[in-house]
């Protein structure tokens, strides 16, 4: 394993120091009684110079200041369609801010309020590991028939690899369209980095079988697969997962169904295949919200996704019974790093003409990533 891979493994915990920028000591105290008033004042003074984007997993105190809330697809579209704002303040995680930087013009600056807001799943596929995998596929003579389909939850370097090799990005709301498109372009898919979204979409949406899928383990020679397995597979799934969604189990589903008669189980496709297979409804964060919003009074939902979103839905719909699918509390710790003090800090800094926490993707990486992202937006 390369030293750079070892270093990247710890990246989710240490993005701030790695990128050399810190706001330690400059952050307003979370206990500052004037924090909300400071946020309102800074937001007002930035006016249309700034656009605040908020992913659905953000805390309520941050969502309160978002001009647009959405899933990762909707926020990528919003960034691409934003031409007026000089600053895009991205309240989400690092890969989302990178994608926004790639999709906005050179004059626009994308800001991530806390640079340590990474994504452990995105860190599970490094550029050197993916290049090594592709080399094996080339040596076996199958790379030319393989189309990379890369989940939005990936670094810009992996998106760039995808664009260079004729592939597309997907999100949880368009994975089916992206994989169908890829199978029209080639015979196989290399799906990065979330094995669960890839497997769930292949089997439950495209009607492929579990035997059509193999799992590439980046820590083993040849991904831990035989030449025959690689040649035979239709879908090569990367061995990555989300630690938040990976917690939901079949036991959770059975327990909630026993405890709440008539409950419907609604989960994100990053959950394990055995959970998604028995759920009543499966969808992206935006789809989860639409489904609950459209359901009649008295509906009962057990939701398997990040807790901030589930709690917000429960508050919004007191006429419905909404519970978290797991018994134990589970926030996405990196999404949660962005709080009101960080948002106030970046907004006040911008008001004072001090640009902080800008996310800038290298121009060559951005060029090929844009190709892959644009393919997705056109699907
Ligand atoms: P969405 O694409 O549904 O917003 O999901 C993003 C994400 O990070 C889920 O863990
Ligand atoms: Fe990454 Fe999972 Fe958090 Fe989504 S919920 S940002 S996939 S760690």
C-beta 99 within 6 A of ligand 1: no
Specify the pLDDT at position 24: 54
Residue 7 has pLDDT above 60, yes or no: no
Distance from the alpha carbon of residue 351 to the mean position of ligand 2, in angstroms: 31
State yes or no: pLDDT of 9 exceeds 90: no
For residues 187 and 139, state if they share a domain: yes
Are residue 112 and residue 127 in the same domain, yes or no? no
Phi and psi angles of residue 172, each rounded to the nearest 5 degrees, phi first: -70, -15
Q: Is the CB of 192 under 6 A from ligand 1?
A: no
The Cα–Cα gap between 222 and 228 comes to 11
pLDDT digits (tens, 9 = 90+) for 146-173: 999 999 999 999 999 999 999 999 999 9
Q: Residue 18 domain-assigned?
A: yes
Q: Best substitution site from 285, 289, 337 to test ligand 1's pocket, by max atoms within 8 Å of Cβ?
A: 285
In the 8-state DSSP scheme, what is residue 240? B
Does residue 291 have its Cβ closer than 6 Å to ligand 1?
Answer: no
Q: Is 308 in the pocket of ligand 1 (CB under 6 A)?
A: no
- Of the candidates 336, 312, 337, 333, the one whose C-alpha atom is nearest the C-alpha of residue 322 is 312
Q: Is 196 among the domain residues?
A: yes
Q: What is the pLDDT of residues 202-214, one digit of tens each?
A: 999 999 999 999 9
Q: Are 351 and 45 in contact (CB under 8 A)?
A: yes
Q: Is 110 helix (H, G, I), strand (E, B) or coil?
A: strand
Q: Are residues 273 and 312 in the same domain?
A: yes
Q: Are residues 144 and 73 part of one domain?
A: no
Please tell me whether residues 199 and 166 are part of one structural domain.
yes
Confidence of residue 22 (pLDDT cuts 50, 70, 90): low
pLDDT digits (tens, 9 = 90+) for 78-123: 999 989 999 999 999 999 999 999 999 999 999 999 999 999 999 9
327 pLDDT band, cuts 50/70/90, is: confident
Q: Which residue has the tokens 């592939």?
A: 167
What is the 89 CA–ligand 1 centroid distance (Å)?
18
53-87 pLDDT, tens digit per residue, is 999 999 999 999 999 999 988 998 999 998 999 99
> Is 13 in the same domain as 54?
yes
CATH number of domain containing 272: 3.40.50.10800
pTM of the model: 0.90
Cβ(270) – ligand 1 distance below 6 Å? yes
Beta bridge partners of 110: 88
Question: Which ligand has the minimum distance to the alpha carbon of residue 308?
Answer: 2
Per-residue pLDDT averaged across 189-204, rounded?
Answer: 98
- What share of the chain in percent tops pLDDT 90? 89
Q: In this structure, are 134 and 207 located in the same domain?
A: yes
Q: What is the reported pLDDT for 169?
A: 97
Cα–Cα distance measured from residue 18 to residue 116, given in angstroms and rounded to the nearest whole number: 9
Mutate to test the pocket of ligand 2, among 153, 192, 245, 330 (most ligand atoms within 8 A of CB): 153
Ligand 2, from 70, 270, 335: best to mutate by most atoms within 8 Å of Cβ? 335
Higher pLDDT residue, 132 or 22?
Answer: 132
Distance 120 CA to ligand 2 centre (A): 7
Q: pLDDT, tens digit, for every residue of 303-324?
A: 999 999 999 999 999 999 999 9
Q: What is the DSSP-derived secondary structure letter of residue 223?
A: G
- Residue with CA nearest ligand 2 atom 6: 119
User: Is the domain of 264 the same as that of 219?
Assistant: no
Predicted local confidence at residue 25, as pLDDT:
57
Residue 37 structural domain:
3-118+334-361
> In what side-by-side order are the strands of the sheet with 213-216?
168-170, 146-151, 188-192, 235-238, 213-216
Q: How far is CA 133 from CA 37, 208, 210, 224, 237, in A?
A: 51, 23, 21, 11, 11
Question: Rg of the Cα trace of the chain?
Answer: 21
Total number of domains constituting the chain = 3
Asked if the structure places residue 371 within a domain, the reply is no
Residues contacting ligand 2 via CB (< 6 Å): 93, 119-121, 153, 242-244, 270, 306, 332, 334-335
Angle, to 10 degrees, between the axis of helix 156-164 and the axis of helix 363-378?
70
323-to-84, 279, 300, 306, 346 alpha-carbon distances in Å? 40, 14, 8, 12, 34
Q: Is residue 368 part of a domain?
A: no
Tell me which ligand sits closest to the C-alpha of residue 336. 2
Q: Residue holding tokens 């383990």?
A: 217
Task: Based on the fold, state whether residues 112 and 128 are members of the same structural domain.
Answer: no
Percent of the chain with pLDDT over 70: 93
Closest CA to 372 of 199, 148, 174, 202: 148
Q: Which atom of ligand 2 is nearest to the CA of 194?
A: 7
Residue 260 maps to a domain: yes
Distance (angstroms) between ligand 1 centre and the Cα of 141 equals 34
Q: Is 71 in the pocket of ligand 1 (CB under 6 A)?
A: yes
How many other CB atoms are there within 10 angstroms of residue 107's CB atom? 7
Q: Which atom of ligand 2 is nearest to the CA of 119?
A: 1
The residue-averaged pLDDT of 227-253 equals 97
């Amino acid at each position: 394993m390369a030293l750079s891979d070892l270093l990247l493994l710890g990246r989710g915990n240490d993005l701030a120091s790695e990128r050399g920028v810190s706001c330690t000591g400059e952050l307003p105290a979370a206990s500052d009684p004037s924090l909300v008033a400071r946020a309102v004042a800074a937001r007002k003074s930035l006016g249309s110079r700034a656009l605040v984007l908020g992913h659905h997993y953000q805390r309520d105190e941050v969502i309160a200041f978002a001009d647009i809330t959405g899933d990762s697809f909707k926020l990528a579209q919003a960034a691409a369609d934003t031409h007026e704002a000089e600053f895009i303040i991205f309240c989400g995680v690092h890969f989302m801010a990178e994608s926004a930087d790639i999709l906005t013009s050179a004059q626009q600056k994308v800001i991530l309020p806390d640079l340590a807001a990474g994504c452990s799943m995105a860190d599970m596929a490094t550029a050197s590991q993916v290049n090594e995998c592709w080399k094996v596929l080339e040596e076996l003579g199958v790379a030319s028939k393989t189309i990379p389909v890369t989940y939005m939850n990936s670094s810009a370097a992996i998106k760039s690899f995808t664009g260079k090799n004729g592939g597309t990005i997907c999100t949880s709301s368009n994975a089916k369209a992206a994989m169908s498109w890829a199978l029209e372009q080639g015979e196989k898919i290399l799906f990065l980095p979330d094995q669960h979204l890839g497997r769930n979409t292949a089997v439950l949406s495209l009607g492929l079988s579990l035997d059509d899928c193999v799992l590439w383990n980046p820590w083993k020679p040849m991904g831990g697969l035989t030449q025959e397995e690689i040649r035979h597979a239709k879908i090569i799934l990367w061995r990555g997962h989300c630690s938040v969604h990976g917690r939901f189990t079949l036991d959770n589903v059975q327990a909630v169904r026993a405890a709440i008669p008539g409950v419907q189980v609604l989960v994100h496709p990053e959950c394990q295949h055995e959970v998604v297979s028995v759920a009543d409804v499966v969808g992206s964060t935006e789809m989860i919200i639409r489904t609950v919003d459209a359901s009649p009074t008295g509906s009962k939902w057990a939701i398997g996704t990040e807790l901030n979103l589930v709690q917000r839905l429960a508050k919004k719909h007191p006429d419905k019974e909404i519970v978290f699918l797991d018994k134990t509390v589970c926030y996405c710790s990196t999404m949660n790093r962005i709080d009101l003090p960080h948002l106030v800090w970046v907004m006040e800094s911008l008001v004072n003409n001090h640009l902080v926490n800008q996310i800038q993707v290298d121009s060559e990486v951005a060029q090929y990533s844009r190709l892959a992202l644009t393919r997705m937006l056109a699907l």
